[in-house]
Structure 1
Amino acid sequence: MAPLLIYGLVFIGVTAITGVIFFILGEGTAKTAERLDLFTGRKKKDDEATTILKKTALDRDKKSLLAALTPNVPSLQKLIVQADANITPSTFMVISLILAALGFTASWLAGVKLYLAPLLGLLLAVIPFAWLMHKRSSRLKTFASQLPESLELVARALRAGHSLAAGLHVVAEEMPSPIADEFNRVYEEQNLGIPIDEALKSMTERVPNLDLRFFVTSVCIQRTTGGDLAEILDKIGYVIRERFRILGQVKALTAEGRLSGVILMALPFLLFLIMLHIKYDYVEKLWTHPLGVKMAVGALIMQLVGALVIRHIVNIKV
């Protein structure tokens, strides 16, 4: 490849990345400056309202450049909310695309064969999604572990004569994040006039936890039919703790199977990397020869089927 073409590609890539970074930072700075102007009085609310009324339909539907250039993925937005990640879907997609482009370009410039370069790009593009799923999973696990104690706090507040909203406020004040943040949001929403039932249902959308759904359903039914909500919450907390105890026993009994599954899944890829380093021409047949390609595809399919079977065996729901 001509050196001039290589330099041109590197220049275009660096310029694009720098432009995206400055665009993201500039958008946040503009919003901050606008809020400061409104707070200090340099920009009046009446003027802002007048400006809004004068906007055309195109201005009202105006979106940022990132949002316009990236697809709107509702499931991605939902994952970001559940993970409590401070990032927009459009920015997230741009980061993934940049990593994919960097991986492809680096592989190409390193002399890797053209049909293998997309693999590194795909691996780098998956990194933000893996980070998001890990952050979401960690947050949901922490929330689930904090829920029994939080329900007990609400039950104690109810027995002390406080309202349900006051009990939620106690959890927001006494418990750590993330459950404190979610309960505080419910408390603030009902203070703003949103029915507490609707605020609780919104929380179940942000936190897809089965035990939390039991709690919200119990509150909704109790507010309709009546009953001792404190006793109901105590029983729900007891059931959750017992389920955690049984789940721990199940994990201990299935630890050997899960470890075997991890080893069996990692062993073929580890051997592939070792053979790739020791005898490259031997492994090269897997993607240069038609029969080798079929063998590699068949091995990957069987590997996937085996992973699903092992996961089905050791994944015991409690």
Structure 2
Amino acid sequence: MDITVSILYSLAVLSLLFCAYFFLGYRSQKKEWKQKVKQWFPEEERKSFISRWGDQFDKRESSRALRIKLQKANLKLLPSEYLGILVVGYLALFVLMNSIFSMPIELSLLLPFALLFISHYLLFYFRKNSYEVRFNEQLSEICRILGNAARSGLTINQGIDIVAREVASPAGDEFKKIANELKMGVTLDAALRSAQKKNSTRDFNLFIATLLIQKKTGGNLALTLDTMANTFEDRKVLNQIIKTMTSEQKYISFIVPALPIFLLLVMNNVIDGFIDPLWSGFGLVILTLFLGAIILSFILIRKITNIKV
């Protein structure tokens, strides 16, 4: 009798464990299917009229040029988001000029617009190659991965697929596009030439030329890529040293023009009518010389610290 009870008890416990196992497996499979269904049929979320207006603006052809600029500047912003930041910045500067620095209403309306226009120009001027710089900094890692893939007996296409999975943005995103084009039947030459349109720097051109020549003529691709990776790493270290040595001067190039303007606004807030003489005949000459000297000092400092290797 005791043996029968023990056997039944053991079977009951075993059945409970099997049920728990299959139940957990069912839950896990159900969760995976829910995630797939959400990816295939995403739910439409309610949006405000501002978000809908922003989506419509981003889809227009007129916003394409701004989108390309933002991408080259490596700014993770949509064109509508960038314009929204400019509008908010204009309102904040208007309140700052009119309420805190006691500027005339006409000047409070025009000066923020001029400052934002200059800031917009300088932002894209100094960051116009930011996307390419970050891309080129990852070329050494890409060469290492492709070299290891070639050493393991994989093809260039398979190595590019590994790069697309392993390398972070922005190079990872571009290599994902290349890998997808190769899977769709596009030739390696055409896929790389398409990527070259977005990044036409000397380093990337050398990288593409090496891959295409090695594919046509053969040779030790792994050794070539390792040598190229060492060259890119040495250049990256040298650029970082130069950037560190000139960082103080680059910050000074922004502080020197901003400090006199800030002091002028503070004095106008302390002393009523302090900047009124600047709008007279001789005052306009002094103001023009003052602004010209500020712009000239900024350009000279930036030129001195702009060292290319």
Match of 1:153 in 2: 145
Pair 151,135 (structure 1): closer, same or farther in 2 beyond 3 Å: same
2:178 paired with 1:178: no
Match of 2:268 in 1: 276
Matching residue within 68, 71, 84 for 1:95:
84
Shift of 1:310: 1.5
2:265 paired with 1:238: no
Code of the aligned partner of 2:285: K
Structure 1: gaps of 5 or more residues: 1-19, 29-63
Pair 113,256 (structure 1): closer, same or farther in 2 beyond 3 Å: closer
Greater shift, 186-195 or 134-143, is seen at: 134-143
Correspondence 1:98-113 to 2 at 5 A:
98-99=87-88, 102=91, 112-113=104-105
Matching residue within 304, 307, 315 for 2:306:
315
Pair 26,77 (structure 1): closer, same or farther in 2 beyond 3 Å: closer
Pair 276,207 (structure 1): closer, same or farther in 2 beyond 3 Å: farther
The separation in 2 between residues aligned to 1:156 and 1:233, in whole angstroms, is: 9
The separation in 1 between residues aligned to 2:96 and 2:198, in whole angstroms, is: 39
Mapped contact 2:57–2:63 kept (Cα < 8 A): no
The separation in 2 between residues aligned to 1:149 and 1:260, in whole angstroms, is: 34
Aligned residue pairs total 259
Pair 248,73 (structure 1): closer, same or farther in 2 beyond 3 Å: same
Matching residue within 162, 166, 172 for 2:158:
166
Relative contact order (C-alpha < 8 Å, sep 6+): which is higher?
2
Code of the aligned partner of 1:25: R
Shift of 1:255: 4.5
The separation in 2 between residues aligned to 1:305 and 1:108, in whole angstroms, is: 25
Deviations 1:8-29 (A, max 9, x none): xxxxxxxxxxxx961652785x
Mapped contact 2:144–2:226 kept (Cα < 8 A): yes
Report the TM-score, using the length of structure 2 for normalisation. 0.67
Identity of aligned pairs, percent? 24
Correspondence 1:188-207 to 2 at 5 A:
188-207=180-199
Shift of 1:187: 0.4
Structure 2: gaps of 5 or more residues: 1-46
Match of 2:282 in 1: 291
Mapped contact 1:92–1:128 kept (Cα < 8 A): no
Matching residue within 22, 25, 29 for 2:52:
25
SS in structure 1 at match of 2:106: coil
The separation in 1 between residues aligned to 2:258 and 2:264, in whole angstroms, is: 10
Match of 2:219 in 1: 227
Deviations 1:142-174 (A, max 9, x none): 433332112111111011111111111111222
Correspondence 1:246-265 to 2 at 5 A:
246-255=238-247, 257-265=249-257
The separation in 1 between residues aligned to 2:123 and 2:54, in whole angstroms, is: 24
Shift of 1:233: 1.8
Shift of 1:294: 2.3
